[in-house]
Structure formats: C-alpha cells, structure tokens
Chain A
Amino acid sequence: MRNEIELEAIIEDYLKGKLTAEERIAFEQLRSNDPVIDHKVVAHKVFLDSMAQYAHVVKLKEQMDAVHSQIDVAALAENLRPHPSKWVKLWRNNRSAVAIAASFILLAMVSLYSIQSNNKQAGTFEAMSKDMAKIRSTQNTLIRDIKTREANNSSNNNSNNARFGGTGFAISGNGYIVTNYHVVRGADSVYVQNSNGSYKAKSFYSDPVNDIAILKISDKRFESLPALPYTMKRGSSGIGESVFTLGFPKDDIVLGDGYVSSRNGINGDTLAYQVAIPVNPGNSGGPLLDNSGNVVGIINGKENKTDGATFAVKSKYIMEALNAIPQDSLSRKVSYGKKSSLRGLKRNKQVQKMQDYVFMIKVYNNN
C-alpha cells in the first residue's frame, strides 16, 4: 500500500516533469523493465490529460457563467426573438437582400422620374404655373390710389389727404349713386365728381357681402339729374354678350369695351360675371352695360395673375340693394326691364349721353 502510493506519486511527478534528471532516468529504466508500471504510467497520463481538459473546461465555463450573468438576456431575447409578424421576420432574416432590392427600386424610380421630367419639362412647367395661378389668384380690387398723383396735382383743394378713387353711377335723378363697398370702406368723407362739378356725398347703404354701396349726394349745390338714360337688366347675361364700362382710372372718363367671358366670378363666385375688359385701378364701381344700354353689373375687381379677367357684380344684386332704400326717397330712379334710351345708339353717343351719370368717387381718410 505504501509502495503503491509512492509509485503513484512518482508517476505523477514524472508526468508533470517534476523529477530531477537522475530520478527520471532511473524511473524510465524501471518503466521499460516493468510492463505493469509502464501500463500504469500510460493510464495515468490518459487520466491526467482528461482531468486537465476537464479542469480547463470547467474553469472556462465558470468564467463564462460569470460574464453571462452580466448580460441582460431577457431584454436581448426580446429583441432577437422571432417576431410574430411574418413581415418583420422576413425583414430580419433578409435584411441585406431587402435593402439591396429597395435601393434598386429607388434608383429605378429616380432615373425613370428624371427621364420623364427631362422629356416633359415644358408641359409640366405650364401645368404647374396654372395650378399656382389658381392657388394664388386673388381678386385685385380696383381702387385707385390717387394720393401720390393728387399730391403733384393740387388743383383740387380737398385733394391733400385723398386716399382712394373709384367710380360710381347714378341710380336716381336725385343723387343716389351706387359704387363698390370696398371703394368707400372706412371712408371719413366721400366726394363724387362728374363733368358738372364735385359734390360731397355720404354713405347711405352698404352691403359688404355683395360689395355694393349706395351713396347719397348731400351737397346743396347738386342739381337733380334728368331721367336716367340706362336701365337695369332684369335677367342675366350670357357668355359672349358685348359689354362696355365707363370708369375713372385717371381723371378723365375712360371707356372699356369687351364681352362677358364667364357666368361666374373668381373661384366659381355666382355673385359675379367674369368679363374680358381691361380695367385698371379706379374702375371699381363702374357700370357694366350691354349694347342696349342695360346695366348688367358693377365692375369690382380683377384677377391679378390673369390678363383680361375682370369681375363684375351682377345687376340682380344691385336691385336687391335698391330695394333696401325707402322707395319714396328715390325720385326718377333707375328702372329695370324697360327700354333704355341708349338702345340702338352708337357707342360714342351712348357714352356721351351717360357720362354725366358716371361719377368719380374720391375717398378721404383723415388718419
């Protein structure tokens, strides 16, 4: 027993290389002579190797377990677990393939688009600008800012603080004048002027929705006008009907000639016509008449992005405004549905006959 233990210890020391040179030589001598000892050595070597490997793995596992405990496995697993959704799974599994496919599609689309836009650039541009016009177009009200001009031309003593100008026309012989609401909006004082002179007027009625205002001349110098040469048109005008207007875009009366180009105004506004008459600031409030001398509307604005698109409030709404005035205060008022005395006359005669009934409206603001 004692010897066995000694032998085992020697074998172990031998295998671990712990023996001195002499001891080793002596032991190898012994081993080569004794097959039993040799067998023991071999067996022990196998055992020790296995044990070393075992020890190594155990240590490695211990270390790995230590590291493993630092990892938040649950959270990681949550991210990496197969997703219930098939699409997400597909994406995770084929991330690279999907990415490549997607970039190809993108590239194809970009090149297709660029080819297309190169070929059709002009057309697209045109369409775009039309869209833009639609979005941006606003009604330009045609009030004339006469301040600067009047400052140079101080012939009129009231002109120093004149702000705006427009046009109006008589709807009765005793000094009722219709114009646009926007012309007289916020006015401190209003003067109207025709070839006979300038008269003070005051706002009598205003209808902001239809952009109509009625003024009453309050000046004592004003003498009643003879019977109105024009009448109000009862029905509506059709597209293509010739119309003309008189207005004061400058200090002299100006004739504008054209035709009704659309039944509706800006953005389908049913209150107004669209007419093809070039107008300028100052034309607002001017009468729009047809060839027979019937008033079909009042010029009230134009589209600022489109040439020749002028708008006029329909005569129907002028009539509505007139009905708001006590009927007995209107003498020799405008009639409607009747035959106008302008009918059948040439345009120059028509203008001559009615120019006394068209007034320049001057609006003053003190502030």
Chain B
Amino acid sequence: MSIKFSSQIPTDREVVLGILNNSVEALNKLYLAYFPMVLQFVLNNSGDEDDAKDVYQEAIIVLYNKVRSGNFELSSKLKTYIYSVGRRIWLKKLTQQSKKANNIADFEDVLAVDDELEMHEEKDMQFDKMKVALDNLGEPCKTIIQDFYIHNHSMQEICEKFGYTNTDNAKTQKYKCLQRLKKLFFQS
C-alpha cells in the first residue's frame, strides 16, 4: 500500500530474535526498514524530519523494552506495531505543543497501544531524570560515571584515563561522584 522501501525488510521473527540477542545487524535492518513509514506519517501530520527521527527512535525503544520484558507476543505485524506506537507518540507530542491533531493522515492500520505508551512514559521519565542528573553532575564526575556504568570500563582503566595515582583514589573519586549523582537523581 505505502511506498516501497528500497532496503530489505527483515522478517518479524528475525527482528525479535535480533533484539533478544542484542544484534546490531538486526537493529540496522529494522531501522532502515520502517523509517520511511514513520517519516511519511510525521511529515504528513505537521512534523519535520527531526521530529520523525525522534518519534521513530522512541518507537523502537518501546519495541525493545517490550521485547526484552519478555511478554511480547506477535499478535500483529511488527510494522503495524511500530506504526501505531510512533503515531501515538507523535500525536501526544503534537498535543503537548498544543497543535491541533485533527484530520490525521494515516497510512497503515493502527493498533491500540496505550499500555505500552504508559509504561514507556514512565521509563522515559526515569531516563530524563538520569539525563538531567548526569548533566548537572559536571566533569569529570559525569565521564567517570558514564565510563563505569555505561561503557563498563574497569576502575583500572578509569584510573589510567584520568591520571589518578592509584585505583583507590579513583574509587574514592567515583564514590563521591556516585553519591552526588544519587542525590541529584533521587531528589529530582
């Protein structure tokens, strides 16, 4: 029905297995496959390319969380799922921007995805809280924490990278950073 996408569309099963196995290749395929669909929707409903990118990435994050939480059942086509989630996210954003969202131009079937979105909003809030906390943390704490918790660097590596004389000093520094971060995180 909609415009044919040039890239190969992976099977739904392939995608779900890829998500469960953290396959970068599966993510790439998935991303390329359905981006035009979401782009089309956003562009035709008073959004631009950047809006489309944000909406699409959020929709994929929702899919990832759903699949990883283990209770994902393929009751519909993945395409429909992504479209519905993306649509819902964009319409919500439109309302937040107090833009009118009547006469929605739809290009695909739509599923009811309210539960997913509620869960996602909660997680998104957590994400934003963490992001704000990290941004407020300042350097070098932010980088130390990110290196340790996100990039899984060892204390030894962090010690070398930042030029601490020994790992104990690095650990002490990390501890202080962590305390401040926790404070920021829980207080906000």
Q: Residues on A close to B: CB < 8 A?
A: 1, 4-5, 8-9, 43-44, 47-48, 50-61, 63-64, 67-68, 70-71, 73-74, 76-77, 79-82, 89, 92-93, 95-96
- With contacts A51-B130, A60-B60 known, is A73 near B150, CB below 8 A? no
Task: Determine whether B36 belongs to the interface, using a CB cutoff of 8 Å to chain A.
Answer: yes
Q: Which of A1, A43, A55, A57 is packed against the most chain B CB atoms within 10 Å? A: A57
Contact: B39 with A76, CB < 8 Å?
A: yes
Please give, as numbers and ranges, the residues of chain B lying within 8 Å of A57 by CB-CB distance. 61, 127
C-alpha gap A262/B52 in the complex (Å):
79
Task: Determine whether B105 belongs to the interface, using a CB cutoff of 8 Å to chain A.
Answer: yes
Please give, as numbers and ranges, the residues of chain A lying within 8 Å of B106 by CB-CB distance. 93
Q: Which of A43, A64, A80, A89 is packed against the most chain B CB atoms within 10 Å? A: A80
Contact: B171 with A5, CB < 8 Å?
A: yes
Given B1, B52, B127, which contacts A95 in the complex, CB threshold below 8 Å? B1
Q: Residues on B close to A: CB < 8 A?
A: 1-3, 24, 27-28, 31-32, 35-36, 39-40, 43-44, 49, 52-53, 57, 60-61, 64, 105-107, 123, 126-127, 129-131, 149-150, 171-172, 175, 178, 182, 185-186
Please give, as numbers and ranges, the residues of chain A lying within 8 Å of B172 by CB-CB distance. 1, 5
Contact: A74 with B32, CB < 8 Å?
A: no
Please give, as numbers and ranges, the residues of chain B lying within 8 Å of A79 by CB-CB distance. 3
- With contacts A61-B57, A67-B28 known, is A51 near B149, CB below 8 A? yes
Given contacts A48-B149, A57-B127, 14 further A-B contacts (CB under 8 A): A9-B171, A44-B182, A47-B182, A47-B186, A51-B130, A53-B127, A54-B127, A67-B28, A68-B53, A68-B57, A73-B39, A73-B53, A76-B39, A77-B52
Contact: B36 with A64, CB < 8 Å?
A: no
Contact: B49 with A64, CB < 8 Å?
A: no
Contact: B49 with A53, CB < 8 Å?
A: no
C-alpha gap A79/B185 in the complex (Å):
44
C-alpha gap A71/B29 in the complex (Å):
12
Contact: A82 with B43, CB < 8 Å?
A: yes
Please give, as numbers and ranges, the residues of chain A lying within 8 Å of B182 by CB-CB distance. 43-44, 47
Please give, as numbers and ranges, the residues of chain A lying within 8 Å of B171 by CB-CB distance. 5, 9
Given A56, A70, A96, which contacts B32 in the complex, CB threshold below 8 Å? A70
C-alpha gap A81/B105 in the complex (Å):
12
C-alpha gap A161/B82 in the complex (Å):
92
C-alpha gap A57/B60 in the complex (Å):
10
12 CB-based A-B contacts, threshold 8 Å = A48-B149, A51-B130, A52-B149, A54-B127, A54-B150, A55-B149, A60-B64, A64-B31, A67-B31, A73-B53, A80-B39, A81-B43
Could you tell me the distance in whole angstroms from the C-beta of B103 to the nearest C-beta in chain A? 10
C-alpha gap A67/B123 in the complex (Å):
24
Could you tell me the distance in whole angstroms from the C-beta of B36 to the nearest C-beta in chain A? 5
Contact: B32 with A67, CB < 8 Å?
A: yes
- With contacts A4-B175, A60-B64, A82-B44 known, is A76 near B36, CB below 8 A? yes
Could you tell me the distance in whole angstroms from the C-beta of A282 to the nearest C-beta in chain B? 72
C-alpha gap A80/B57 in the complex (Å):
19
Please give, as numbers and ranges, the residues of chain A lying within 8 Å of B24 by CB-CB distance. 63
Across chains A and B, which 9 residue pairs bring their CB atoms closest together, nearest first? A80-B40, A55-B150, A54-B130, A67-B31, A5-B175, A82-B44, A51-B149, A67-B28, A81-B43
Could you tell me the distance in whole angstroms from the C-beta of B175 to the nearest C-beta in chain A? 5
C-alpha gap A58/B150 in the complex (Å):
8
Please give, as numbers and ranges, the residues of chain B lying within 8 Å of A82 by CB-CB distance. 43-44, 105
Please give, as numbers and ranges, the residues of chain A lying within 8 Å of B105 by CB-CB distance. 82, 89, 93
C-alpha gap A63/B129 in the complex (Å):
22
- With contacts A50-B185, A55-B149, A63-B24 known, is A8 near B178, CB below 8 A? yes
C-alpha gap A193/B102 in the complex (Å):
99
Contact: A73 with B28, CB < 8 Å?
A: no
Beta-carbon nearest neighbor of B155 in chain A: A9
- With contacts A58-B150, A68-B31, A77-B49 known, is A53 near B126, CB below 8 A? yes
C-alpha gap A293/B61 in the complex (Å):
108
C-alpha gap A76/B3 in the complex (Å):
10
Beta-carbon nearest neighbor of A47 in chain B: B182
Please give, as numbers and ranges, the residues of chain A lying within 8 Å of B40 by CB-CB distance. 80
Please give, as numbers and ranges, the residues of chain B lying within 8 Å of A74 by CB-CB distance. 49
C-alpha gap A249/B127 in the complex (Å):
108
Given A5, A71, A81, which contacts B35 in the complex, CB threshold below 8 Å? A71
